[in-house]
Amino acid sequence: MRRLLRGARIIDPATGFDGVADLAIAGGRILARGQIPADFMAEEVLDGSGLVACPGLVEMSLQAHTPGHGRDGDLASELRAAVAGGVVHVALSPATDPCADTAGVIHQQRNLAAALGLAKVYPTGALTRQLAGEALSEMAALEEAGAVAFSQGGRAVGNGALLRLALAYAADFALPVLLHSEDALLAADGVMHEGALSVRLGLAGRTAIAEQVGVLRDLAIAQLVDCPVHLRHLSTMAALDAVQAARRRGQQPTVDVSIHHLLLTEQDVGLFNTHAKVLPPLRPGRERDALRQALAQGQIDAISSDHCPWGVDRMGQTFAQAPFGIAAVELLLPLTLRLVDEGVMDLATAIGLLTTGPARVLGLATPSLAPGAPADLCIFAADQYFVVDPRQLVSRGKNLPYGQWELRGKVRYTLVDGHLVYRA
C-alpha cells in the first residue's frame, strides 16, 4: 500500500535529520522525505500532527520461549508485544527449550517469524552446546541456518580455555559474539546484589566483583584471539571502566545496558518483589547514576529491554525460587523517554541508542528513514502520558516492576516494510 505520513516530526539518527516533514511510502520503502512527488497518490494518509516518527526500534535480546512449552508466552505473543512498542527488529535469545544450538531450532524460529509477519526476527545461535559452557556448538551449521550472532544468553562460559577456543572459531565467521560476563564462582548463585539490603532480607547476594572479574577475563581472552566481542547488560561502573581501558589499548568491544539498570536500584526489590529480580541484579543507586553518566558520555552502544516474560503461574514463587527476568519490550520506548525527561540525554540520542546503536552491534543494516530505505517505522505520541497497567500489556508476561508508573510516549503505529503491523 502506498502511504503518506503527513506533518510528523521525523528523527533519523542515521542521517542526522530532525524536523517536521512528510514521508511517502511505496513498495515497502521510503519513496520521499520532505518534498513529495506531485504525482504520488497515497491509498492511506496518516496524520502525523503532534507525532514523532523514527526508524523501527531494535531489541538486542528478546526471550520468546520458542521452542518451549508456551506457558510463559511464545513467539507470536511476544512479537505482538514488540510491535506494540514500536520494535521492528528483534534478536532472539538462544535460551529456549531446547536451546538454539542446532540448525533445526534456527530454522523453526525463522519460519515461524516469517509466517507471523510481524517484526523482523534475527535468531542468535548458542555459543556452546545447551549453553552449558562445556563444548562448542556447531557454529558453522548455525550460521548457515541464519543465525546473526553467537550468544550465551544469561550464562557465562566458566571454562576460560573453552571460551578461548569458542572466540577463535567465532572470529572466522565474522558474526558478533554476545557475552554475559561474570565469574560464576564469585556470583555463587546469588539472587540479588550483595550488600546490606541482601543481608537484611536474608537473600543470597551476587557480588558486583563477579561482573568486573568476568569482564576483565573475557576482554583479555578476546584480545588474545583477536575476536571482537559485545558485552551484554553491564551493570557496574567497574565493568565499564574495564571496557574503556580495553578501548584505549586498541580493542573495540561494544556494550549495552538494560533499561532496568538505568532506572531502578536494589531498593526496588523492596519486600521480596520478584518482578524486580533480574540478571545482572539491580545495583545500588551509585551504580545506576554511574551508568547514566557513562551513557551521557557516549560509552554505551545500545539500550535493551532484555525482555524475558514469565507466566502468571509463577507469581506465587518466593524471591529465591522465581526466575530472573523482566517483561518490558513494549515499554522500552517510554521507559527510555524517562531518561530524556530526567536530563540524561536528548531525544535524538535516545532514539539512536534504540536503533542505530544496537543495529551496528548486531551487524544489521542501519535503520533509516532516508529515501530508498525499508519503510520500518515507529510512530509515537511523545506528549501522550499514560499509567502502566500490566494487565493491559500485550506480552504474556506480567513480571515487571513498572506498574502504576506514569510514562509518556504511546506508540500509535508500527510499520514493517511499509505494512501496518500495529495501530493503537
CA-CA distance, 43 to 213, in Å (whole number)? Answer: 57
Omega prior to 94 cis, within 30 of 0: no
Instruction: Please compute Rg for the chain using Cα positions.
Output: 21
**Identity of the amino acid at 356:** T
Grid cell 532516508 — which residue? 370
How much helix, strand and coil, in percent to the nearest 5, is found in the chain? 35, 25, 40
Nearest Cα neighbor of 280 from 304, 254, 297, 296 is 304
From 97, 306, 376, 389, active-site residue = 306
Question: Cis before residue 284, ω within 30 degrees of 0?
Answer: no
3-state secondary structure of 162: helix
C-alpha cell at 293: 553518566
d(C-alpha 61, C-alpha 8), whole Å: 30
Which of these, 90, 92, 87, 91, lies nearest to 54 by C-alpha position?
A: 87
DSSP lists the bridge partners of residue 381 as 410
Catalytic, 376? Answer: no
**Could you tell me if 73 and 110 are in contact, meaning their C-beta atoms sit under 8 angstroms apart?**
no
Please check whether residue 295 is in contact with residue 257, taking contact to mean a CB–CB distance below 8 angstroms. yes
**Cell numbers at residue 165, please?**
577456543
Angle, to 10 degrees, between the axis of helix 208-225 and the axis of helix 237-248?
A: 20
Active-site positions?
306
